[in-house]
Amino acid sequence: MNRNEKSPFCFREVYQDQRSFLELEVSRWVYSRETSFQKIDIFDTVSHGRVLALDGIVQTMERWEFMYHEMIAHVPLQICERPKHVLVIGGGDGGTIREALKHPSVESAVLCEIDRDVVEAAKTYLPTLSHALSDPRVSCVFEDGVAYLKGSSQTWDAILIDSTDPTAGEGGHLFTDAFYALCRERLVPGGVCVAQTENPIYDREWMQTAYRRIAAAFPTAGIYLGFSPQYPSGFWTYSIGYRSQDGQNKPDFYQLSPEAVRRIPPHLRYYTSDIHSAAFQIPPFLSDYLA
């Protein structure tokens, strides 16, 4: 390799254990800004495409983000019966909203992101994710997710909690008992709530805590898994809660109905009905962690 092909700059992420680190060679710095909430960095890499980091933690690698965004959106939205109104909390890059809008039943989607600068930066520098934010069905609210839910009585078919890590930036209060209870109150009967709940390798305690709190807030709850190479260990968990309705059958998270399978949006790259079922298969060591 020609020595000039190598960039002298590296981005360094400190994993949650404080003793393991990911370094990525930066081919081009794109954007950096200190906002009132966090430090935003956007840079290009040869292997992962454009990368968004908040407070030094990778949020999005453009080449691999589809795995995470498809799994946080399509699993709950396929479990819902024809979701109409979807709330995304966090997710300022627009990737989760982009996936939600692939469901033709969705009439409105609100992005509630505390940091307007993240959305503005994504609109300018991450168009493959943020293009969905200009869809006429989308509104953006720049407010803390807890305050937004408290201040509005609107109910939702699905609430997707696409937060940063509980230990970094502004994500921590999106992992509380009170927040999950509030999410449940703001769901219609038959509605679902999903949250990214970290990984069992570097952040086992937060994963346990978040899953247990969701399972306490929702009588019907579960956890599912997906590969997410953009995040530490690549072993990602998502916890899901269902607001039941009197006299209504609880959904089988694992198995989609034939009608639901027919509603899967076309052209997805990670999610299929078989991946949906596979994602709910939990290895015994993980069940032990969550018991």
Helix (H, G, I), strand (E, B) or coil at 174: helix
Q: Residues binding a second copy: what is the number (CB under 8 A)? A: 42
In whole angstroms, the minimum distance from the beta carbon of 84 to a second copy comes to 27
Does 268 sit near a second copy (CB under 8 A)?
yes
- The label of the residue with tokens 């940063």 reads 164
Is 162 one of the annotated active-site residues of the chain? yes
In whole angstroms, the minimum distance from the beta carbon of 203 to a second copy comes to 11
Identify the residue among 202, 211, 218, 253 touching a second copy (CB under 8 A): 202
Q: Which is nearer to a second copy, 258 or 284 (CB)?
A: 284
Tokens in use for 249?
């059958």
In whole angstroms, the minimum distance from the beta carbon of 96 to a second copy comes to 18
Per-position b or e across 214-236, b if 16+ CB within 10 A of its CB: bbebbeebbbbbbbbebbbbebb
Q: What is the DSSP letter of 269?
A: S
**From 157, 162, 165, 203, active-site residue:** 162
Identify the residue among 3, 249, 269, 291 touching a second copy (CB under 8 A): 269
Does 22 sit near a second copy (CB under 8 A)?
yes
Complete DSSP assignment for 119-167: HHHHHHH-HHHHGGGGSTTEEEE-S-HHHHHHT----EEEEEEE---TT
Q: Which is nearer to a second copy, 119 or 279 (CB)?
A: 279
73-74-75-79 Cα dihedral, nearest 10 degrees: 110
Interface contacts to a second copy, rule CB under 8 A: 1, 6, 10, 17-25, 45-48, 64, 66-67, 199, 201-202, 225, 227, 229, 233-235, 268-272, 274-275, 277-279, 281, 283-285
Please list the active-site residues: 162
